[in-house]
């Protein structure tokens, strides 16, 4: 029961006025970010990182703020799914299938309350899963040498490309572009400049925050410009009655919530599969189990509870590999990893030993934040509904300007701002071509460590490259990587949301 005593210590860290306030602020902002179509968890967190960083917040409060935003966005996405039939972010896509029909039947209040409770159940048990699973994974990770780490990074790219994208080759291209960007700058091991072309600004490399904000947030502005005037949002069609769910409805959906929580958590822990996959698998499985009268898709409450429990559980699950191994499994956890790296904290097994206060303070804050979110998302939901009515033509310029403020605050360099706009244009083009952006981010973030472990491994064995496949652990990891990359080619059609295959996914925000 080591984990429990650590958790108790974590609550002491979290229960300060500042941390509670940041958790509350994060939950509030997160729900808004999740609810607004076009602003999702990964670009929301990406915009806030430079701000948290320049405000000089220490590691624990900064992480508490941003993971609260992450959890909050998972709650918020459902609001626009149910009321507008537009997913507020990608994981909330499945919620539209039964949520909007419920709203049209005049049950918008019930749907919002039920999905809020399902979100709470999913996130609450997933956070418990994090408490118990992360230390176990840390125990395994302590056995890892550089060769194992190299294989682990390869595994992360392979499953990310295999499971989460529609085209393996494009995911591989994206990963290589990211890794290539990470090699720009002075090589720390040999002390020589690489790919700098005598440009002073490039010697320190490309800042990953600049790349992330450009790729996610700025490219979103361009997409809005392209699609302007299409599909105005209005909630006028649906009336919000009292936001409560009758006990009978909760009883009916309890099984769906339980099953979806487990499935979502597993989907979240797998590297490469984020909350979108969690909500998709949960909905599909629940439909197979419970849809005996053909009510799914026509406003069945279980079809609302399942994806919401699933995506919130997956969000918690995705934190496990990020914290325990330093290998994020999804877009937003990759962005959170960027936050840690910016604060000079390397996640992984050593984080649990050196900075237990950071890890356990964060986990405790997630429990507290989850309760705040439940309280916020049921009685106060009409407040968020009003925020939904801000038109994008005012919102998007504000988002762009806040992105500039954040990046300028870090470096005070206009060169970085221009690089960011460049990344924005690149992100727009890649999104149009259906090239996933998350592998690029992951490549930029992990490239340095991946190369270091490769060089260490081969150096230790005195130049013998076969060391990369010498231990059973490395062979196992490589085997998993190959299966994760290739298997979806064969069975992929069953694993992926069909809706996500349609072109509208280009504008959706990765989770």
Partner 1 sequence: MSDRIFGIACLLLAGFYLVSASTIELGFIETPVGPRAFPYIIGAVLAISALYPIFVPDAPPEWPDMRGLVEIAFAAAVMFAYAWLLPTGGFVLCTAVAAAVLSWRLGTTPLAAATAGVAISVGIYVVFHLVLGLSLARGPWGF
Interface residues with partner 1 (CB under 8 A) are: 51, 54-55, 166-170, 172-173, 176-177, 179-180, 183, 187, 189-195, 197, 218, 221-222, 224-226, 228-229, 392-394, 396-398, 400-402, 404-405, 408-409, 412, 414, 417-418, 420-421, 424-425, 428, 432-435, 450-451, 454-455, 458-459, 462-463, 503, 506
**Count of other CB atoms within 10 angstroms of residue 272:** 30
Q: Give dist(CA 315, CA 268) in Å, integer.
A: 6
Is 499 buried (19+), middle (13-18) or exposed (0-12) by CB count in 10 A? Answer: middle
Q: Which is nearer to partner 1, 379 or 412 (CB)?
A: 412
Which of 299, 274, 244, 309 is CA-nearest to residue 105? 299
Question: Do the strands 185-186 and 193-194 form a parallel or antiparallel pair, or are they unpaired?
Answer: antiparallel
Question: Residue for token digits 């609260």?
Answer: 68
Q: Which is nearer to partner 1, 209 or 243 (CB)?
A: 209
Provide CB contacts within 8 A for 72, sequence distance 6+: 26, 27, 28, 29, 30, 31, 33, 34, 369, 373
Q: What is the CA radius of gyration of the chain?
A: 22
Q: Which is nearer to partner 1, 229 or 472 (CB)?
A: 229
For 189-197, which contacts have Cβ atoms below 8 Å and span 24 or more sequence positions? 189/452, 189/455
Whole-number minimum distance, CB 4 to partner 1, in Å?
A: 37
Whole-number minimum distance, CB 87 to partner 1, in Å?
A: 20
Whole-number minimum distance, CB 55 to partner 1, in Å?
A: 6
Q: Which is nearer to partner 1, 157 or 265 (CB)?
A: 157
Q: Which is nearer to partner 1, 316 or 424 (CB)?
A: 424
Element containing residue 223 per DSSP (H, E): helix 219-226
Whole-number minimum distance, CB 474 to partner 1, in Å?
A: 17
Give CA torsion, residues 416, 506, 153, 51, to 10 deg: 40
Whole-number minimum distance, CB 306 to partner 1, in Å?
A: 31
Q: Which is nearer to partner 1, 1 or 190 (CB)?
A: 190
Whole-number minimum distance, CB 400 to partner 1, in Å?
A: 6
Whole-number minimum distance, CB 463 to partner 1, in Å?
A: 3
Q: Give dist(CA 311, CA 165) in Å, integer.
A: 18
Instruction: Look at the chain and count its residues.
Output: 511
Whole-number minimum distance, CB 166 to partner 1, in Å?
A: 8
Q: Report CA-CA distances (Å) from 299 to 68, 288, 447.
A: 30, 16, 46
For the record, the structure tokens of 112 come out as 């919002």
Whole-number minimum distance, CB 27 to partner 1, in Å?
A: 19
Question: Is the separation of the CB atoms in 345 and 354 below 8 Å?
Answer: no
Whole-number minimum distance, CB 490 to partner 1, in Å?
A: 16
Q: Which is nearer to partner 1, 55 or 380 (CB)?
A: 55
Give buried/exposed letters for 460-481 (b at 16+ CB in 10 A, else e): eeeeeeebbeebebbeebbebb
Q: Which is nearer to partner 1, 47 or 305 (CB)?
A: 47
DSSP secondary-structure letter at 510? P
**Cα 394–Cα 74–Cα 406 angle in degrees, nearest 5:** 45
Question: Is the separation of the CB atoms in 100 and 108 below 8 Å?
Answer: no
Q: Which is nearer to partner 1, 137 or 177 (CB)?
A: 177
Q: Which is nearer to partner 1, 169 or 469 (CB)?
A: 169
Is 285 buried (19+), middle (13-18) or exposed (0-12) by CB count in 10 A? Answer: middle
Q: Which is nearer to partner 1, 33 or 320 (CB)?
A: 33
Whole-number minimum distance, CB 187 to partner 1, in Å?
A: 4
Whole-number minimum distance, CB 171 to partner 1, in Å?
A: 9
Q: Which is nearer to partner 1, 389 or 418 (CB)?
A: 418
Whole-number minimum distance, CB 507 to partner 1, in Å?
A: 12
Q: Give the three-state DSSP class for 193.
A: strand
Q: Give the three-state DSSP class for 30.
A: helix
For the record, the structure tokens of 350 come out as 């050593």
Q: Which is nearer to partner 1, 241 or 459 (CB)?
A: 459
- The phi, psi pair for 194, rounded to 5°, reads -130, 135
Q: Give dist(CA 225, CA 1) in Å, integer.
A: 54
């Amino acid at each position: 029961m080591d984990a429990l005593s650590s958790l108790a210590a974590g609550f002491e860290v979290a229960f300060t006025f500042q941390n509670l306030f940041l958790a509350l602020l994060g939950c509030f902002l997160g729900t808004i970010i999740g609810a607004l179509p076009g602003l999702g968890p990964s670009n929301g967190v990406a915009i806030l990182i430079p701000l948290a960083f320049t405000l000089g917040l220490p590691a624990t409060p900064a992480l508490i703020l941003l993971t609260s935003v992450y959890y909050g966005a998972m709650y918020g996405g459902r609001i626009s799914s149910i009321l507008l039939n537009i997913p507020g972010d990608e994981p909330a896509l499945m919620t539209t299938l039964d949520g909007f029909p419920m709203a049209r039947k005049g049950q918008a209040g019930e749907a919002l309350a039920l999905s809020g409770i399902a979100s709470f159940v999913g996130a609450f048990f997933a956070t418990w899963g994090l408490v118990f699973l992360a230390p176990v994974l840390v125990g395994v990770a302590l056995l890892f040498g550089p060769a194992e780490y190299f294989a682990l990074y390869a595994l992360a790219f392979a499953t990310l490309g295999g499971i989460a994208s529609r085209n393996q080759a494009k995911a591989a291209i994206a990963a290589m572009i990211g890794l290539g960007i990470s090699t720009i700058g002075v090589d720390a091991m040999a002390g020589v400049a690489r790919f700098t072309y005598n440009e002073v600004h490039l010697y320190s490399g490309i800042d990953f925050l600049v790349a992330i904000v450009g790729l996610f947030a700025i490219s979103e502005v361009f997409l809005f410009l392209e699609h302007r005037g299409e599909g105005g949002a209005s909630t006028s069609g649906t009336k919000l009655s009292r936001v409560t769910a009758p006990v009978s409805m909760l009883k009916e959906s309890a099984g769906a919530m339980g099953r979806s929580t487990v499935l979502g958590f597993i989907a979240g822990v797998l590297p490469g599969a984020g909350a979108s996959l969690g909500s998709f698998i949960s909905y599909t499985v629940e439909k197979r189990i419970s849809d005996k009268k053909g009510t799914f898709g026509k406003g069945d409450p279980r079809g609302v509870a399942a994806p919401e429990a699933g995506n919130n559980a997956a969000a918690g699950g995705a934190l496990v590999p990020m914290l325990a191994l330093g290998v994020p499994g999804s877009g937003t956890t990759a962005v959170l990893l960027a936050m840690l790296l910016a604060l000079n904290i390397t996640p992984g097994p050593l984080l649990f030993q050196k900075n237990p206060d950071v890890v356990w303070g964060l986990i405790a804050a997630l429990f507290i934040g989850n309760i705040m979110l439940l309280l916020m998302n049921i009685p106060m939901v009409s407040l968020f509904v009003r925020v939904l009515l801000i038109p994008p033509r005012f919102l998007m310029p504000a988002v762009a300007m806040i992105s500039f403020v954040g990046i300028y605050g870090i470096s005070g360099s206009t060169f970085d701002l221009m690089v960011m706009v460049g990344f924005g244009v690149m992100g727009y083009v890649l999104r149009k071509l259906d090239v996933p952006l998350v592998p690029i981010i992951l490549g930029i973030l992990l490239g340095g460590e991946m190369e270091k472990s490769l060089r260490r491994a081969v150096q230790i064995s005195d130049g013998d490259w076969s060391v990369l496949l010498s231990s059973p652990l490395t062979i196992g990891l490589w085997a998993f990587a190959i299966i994760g990359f290739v298997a979806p080619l064969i069975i992929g059609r069953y694993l992926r949301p069909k809706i996500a295959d349609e072109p509208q996914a280009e504008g959706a925000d990765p989770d």
